[in-house]
Structure formats: structure tokens, C-alpha cells
Amino acid sequence: MNIQQVIDDINADVRSRLSQFEGAVASYIPALAEVDSEQFAMAVHTVDGQTFSTGDVEVPFTIQSVSKVLTLTLALQRYGNSLWHRVGKEPSGTAFNSLTQLEFEQGIPRNPFINAGAIVTCDALYSRLSAPTHHMLETVRWLSGNPRVCINQTVSRSEFQHRHRNAAMAHLMTSFGNFENDVEEVLKVYFGFCAIEMNCQELARTFGYLANRGVDIASGERILTSKQNSQLNSLLFTSGLYDAAGDFAYRVGMPGKSGVGGAIVAVVPGQFAVSVWSPKLNAFGNSSAGLYALEQFADRLSLHLF
């Protein structure tokens, strides 16, 4: 299969209609509202270490909720299955920042990919790591192959200033006894993780381990056990795109994770990780052009898992 040719074709197709995709850039985080919406990039990182990329691949963006996969990875390394006492494994069927379910379900978030679930996972990490931000950055620099990957402090601060909804979730979890640390301190860590900045090519490389049975492709080092890696991919399949996970499973047929910065990462187990980035979001908070591109990619290369 000629991956480069396929993604170049998709880039040309998407670019010719970039202004027509539905939605708008995320504006509930003011610093994100300033990003030029008419950009698109796509990259593939194969388990034999090849990278293919197209479009605006040099442009860095904040990975936002895609970081929730890394947060879960670091927490699984430390807690194993005991993490699941604090966060569930079920699809939420509600928006990524919904508060209602959290009260009905006694402060246990449905899954680690909605905001409440990632925040409680950050709290768990905060309890076990003396410098969680430093540790996360070291991990991301290593996995992405770029030692200069950083947190975009403008975006992180902007998120902290507008933290009320996420803070409400953390306080609610505290009231149910499912939070161990100071809410504001954990939120600073969580927003820092969301504001990690990298380009599309680095994003595909970072998540290569998900396609490679939990082993980092470049170094050969194990990140997760093979079983944990399978389990994480299963959860991405059922919950990675929030209340649009079913639509993504139907259209693209791969485990995936989106973020409000406009990135989506998807995994073809045993073959590659594929990333797309385009900042305009649909009503579910997922990149419209990114979804279209991944659907084309899955169709062109017959990658739907079923």
C-alpha cells in the first residue's frame, strides 16, 4: 500500500474544501480561539518505524484531551487494575465536560477519557509522583522523539482562568471521597497535560506504542503490558470520542482519541498510529475535517477493524 500517496490525496481533497467543514475552533478556552481554523495535517507512524506526513505538519498545536491517553498510561503503570476503583470503563453517552452523571454515579466518572475521568486519574498520579508534570514531559519528549516538546503556558493559564466546570467536577468528586489532593494543584497539572504542544508527525509517533503491543517503536522499551495495551485500545474504541464514539466506530472502525485542539489519533493494531489535525470542531468537540480524513483513510486502505 502506498501510504504517502493516500494521505497526499486526502490532504488535497480536504484542503479544497477546508472552509466548508462544519463547526468552529474551540472558544471556551480563549487562547484556543486564536488558532487559524483553516489548517490540516495528517501523519502515520508505522510499527517498523516509518513516518509519512502531509499538510501543515510543521505547525504545533496543543494536544488537549489526547493527553488523557498518556495520563491513563502513566496511571496504569503505577496502579494497574486498582485504578478502576476510582474511574469506570463504560462509555458516558454524555459530553466530555458533563457534570450530571458524576452526581448520579457517586463521584466515579464513567471512563478516563471524559474530563472528570482524566482529572481523577491526574489526582491518582499526583499522589504517586513527586513531579507529575516533569515526568509527563520527559515521557512525551521521549515518545515523540522531540526533546523540545513543551507546555504552551498561554493555553494552560487560559484554561486555569476558565477552570470553573472542571473545578466543579473535582470538588464534586472530593465531596464523594474520590479525590485525594488539592483541587487547584491537580487542575494545574491536568491543564498542563492538555496544553502539551507538538506537531502532527510527533503526535503519530508518540502513540506508536498503542499499535505495537505497548512497546515504544524507536527504543523497543515497554510502556504497557501487552494486555494493558489491548485493554486501553478497547476503551478508546468505546469511549475515545465521547458521545460520538459510536459514530467514529461506525465510520472509521478504529480505536481513537480526539482533543478540542483539533487533533485525533487513531490506531490500527499491529500496523500504525495515524494522527490528523484540523482545528474546526463539530458539536461533539471533534475535528470535522479530521473525522472526514480518517474515514477516507480507513476506506482507501480497508482499515476498518471489522
**Residue list for the binding site:** 65, 115, 159, 166, 190, 242, 260
Among 39, 46, 64, 92, indicate the residue that binds ligand DON (CB under 6 A): 64
Answer yes or no whether residue 121 interacts with ligand DON by CB under 6 A.
Answer: no
C-alpha 267/C-alpha 275 separation (Å) is 9
Among 159, 197, 202, 216, indicate the residue that binds ligand DON (CB under 6 A): 159
Answer yes or no whether residue 97 interacts with ligand DON by CB under 6 A.
Answer: yes
Stretch that binds ligand DON, among 132-140, 177-185, 256-264, 270-278 (CB under 6 A): 256-264
Of the two residues 68 and 141, which places its CB atom closer to ligand DON in the complex?
A: 68
Among 96, 207, 277, 297, indicate the residue that binds ligand DON (CB under 6 A): 96
Answer yes or no whether residue 156 interacts with ligand DON by CB under 6 A.
Answer: no
Answer yes or no whether residue 98 interacts with ligand DON by CB under 6 A.
Answer: no
Answer yes or no whether residue 166 interacts with ligand DON by CB under 6 A.
Answer: yes
Query: CB count, 10 Å around CB of 180?
Result: 14
Answer yes or no whether residue 255 interacts with ligand DON by CB under 6 A.
Answer: no
Of the two residues 47 and 110, which places its CB atom closer to ligand DON in the complex?
A: 110
Answer yes or no whether residue 277 interacts with ligand DON by CB under 6 A.
Answer: no
Of the two residues 64 and 139, which places its CB atom closer to ligand DON in the complex?
A: 64
Answer yes or no whether residue 239 interacts with ligand DON by CB under 6 A.
Answer: no
Burial status of residue 302 (CB atoms within 10 A of its CB: 0-12, 13-18, 19 or more): exposed
* Residue of closest CB approach to ligand DON: 65
Handedness of CA 291, 297, 299, 302 (dihedral sign): negative
Among 260, 265, 267, 276, indicate the residue that binds ligand DON (CB under 6 A): 260
C-alpha 112/C-alpha 114 separation (Å) is 6
Answer yes or no whether residue 259 interacts with ligand DON by CB under 6 A.
Answer: yes
Answer yes or no whether residue 285 interacts with ligand DON by CB under 6 A.
Answer: yes
Stretch that binds ligand DON, among 174-182, 199-207, 230-238, 257-265 (CB under 6 A): 257-265
Binding region for substrate: 65, 115, 159, 166, 190, 242, 260
Binding site for ligand DON (CB under 6 A): 64-65, 96-97, 115, 159, 166, 194, 258-260, 285
